[in-house]
């Protein structure tokens, strides 16, 4: 089971989520134009590197010129957390000769699966501190913290201060999944959307 890198890209750029795991072979690209502040817009280019690329010898090409590397694991899968060491090492090796420093960020994905969490929060925090990583807890499924995380990273990369109003432009209301009623007690189906985005003119997709 993948940790959700493709799901995070789809959630952020298209606001969609698929429960199906389709293996990413090599790399896939996503673009999103976002208005960071009233005056400033930015186009983010996301390179979704598939899990099998760890040993493929192409990482240095994928990472060439990147500002940020996101290291994603699945909070419900301890093996995905353990594999971060290998990814950090491979990315370090692949970017050894790059002049621009790469900001490295730890993403604990699938935060909606709190009830089956396999990686303790303290473990997450100590791993981030030991490896000098910024870190975020996110969920591609519910959308929790996804747009905020990308906005924050874009802003610090550009040295752009965000006001509270800027941050609120991308805030989302996350809803818990609604349990299915048993057939004999079935009521008219409630809306199934797991997230409602607060509409705003400032945050736009291109
Ligand atoms: N519950 C839950 N499931 C998720 C979340 N993100 C991804 N998934 C599921 O996890 C599975 C793998 O997601 P992918 O995004 O395809 O994983 P990946 O990391 O891109 O995998 P590779 O391309 O093989 O490296 C899919 O079945 C997704 O629906 C999440 O936040 N919560
Ligand atoms: Mg993928």
CA torsion, ordered 135, 136, 139, 140, to nearest 10 deg: -70
Residue with tokens 């795991």: 21
Q: How far apart are CA 43 and CA 28, in angstroms?
A: 16
Residue 147 forms part of a structural domain: yes
Identify which ligand lies nearest to the alpha carbon of 70: 1
Residue 153 forms part of a structural domain: yes
Residue 192 forms part of a structural domain: no
Would the pLDDT of 159 be above 70? yes
Residue 175 forms part of a structural domain: no
Q: Where in the sequence is the domain holding 116, given as residue range(s)?
A: 5-168
Which pLDDT does position 175 carry in this prediction?
57
Residues 41-81: pLDDT tens digits?
A: 999 999 999 988 888 789 999 999 999 999 999 999 999 99
Residue 174 forms part of a structural domain: no
Which pLDDT does position 185 carry in this prediction?
46
CA of 187 to the centre of ligand 2 (A): 37
Residue 186 forms part of a structural domain: no
Residue 184 forms part of a structural domain: no
Q: Is the CB of 109 under 6 A from ligand 1?
A: yes
Q: CATH number, domain at 56?
A: 3.40.50.300
Residue 138 CA, chain-centre distance (Å), reads 6
Q: Is the CB of 194 under 6 A from ligand 1?
A: no
Residue 41 backbone phi and psi in degrees, to 5? -115, 160
Residue 187 forms part of a structural domain: no
Q: Is the CB of 6 under 6 A from ligand 1?
A: yes
Q: Is the CB of 145 under 6 A from ligand 1?
A: no
CB-based burial of residue 126 (10 Å sphere; 0-12 exposed, 13-18 middle, 19+ buried)?
exposed
Instruction: Judge whether 18 and 6 are in contact, CB under 8 Å.
Output: no
Number of domains in the chain: 1
Q: Which of 1, 2, 58 to mutate to test the pocket of ligand 1 (most atoms within 8 A of CB)?
A: 2
Nearest to 62 by CA among 26, 87, 88, 32: 26
Kindly report the pTM of this predicted structure: 0.85
Which pLDDT does position 101 carry in this prediction?
87
Residues 172-201: pLDDT tens digits?
A: 656 566 665 555 444 444 444 333 333 322
Q: Is the CB of 19 under 6 A from ligand 1?
A: yes
């Amino acid at each position: 089971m993948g940790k959700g890198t493709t799901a995070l890209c789809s959630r952020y750029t298209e606001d969609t989520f698929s429960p199906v795991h389709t293996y990413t072979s090599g790399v896939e690209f996503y673009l999103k134009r976002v208005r960071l502040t009233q005056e400033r817009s930015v186009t983010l280019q996301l390179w979704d590197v598939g899990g099998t690329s760890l040993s493929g010898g192409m990482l240095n090409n994928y990472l060439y010129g990147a500002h940020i590397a996101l290291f994603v694991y699945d909070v419900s899968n301890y093996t995905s957390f353990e594999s971060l060491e290998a990814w950090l090492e491979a990315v370090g090796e692949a970017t050894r000769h790059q002049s621009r420093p790469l900001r490295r960020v730890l993403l604990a994905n699938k935060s909606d699966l709190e009830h089956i969490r396999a990686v303790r929060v303290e473990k997450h925090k100590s791993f981030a501190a030991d490896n000098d990583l910024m870190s975020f807890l996110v969920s591609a499924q519910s959308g929790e913290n996804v747009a905020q995380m990308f906005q924050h990273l874009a802003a610090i990369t550009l040295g752009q201060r965000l006001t509270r109003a800027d941050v609120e432009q991308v805030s989302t209301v996350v809803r818990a999944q609604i349990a299915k009623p048993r057939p004999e007690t079935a009521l008219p189906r409630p809306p199934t959307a797991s997230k409602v985005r607060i509409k705003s003119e400032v945050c736009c997709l291109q």
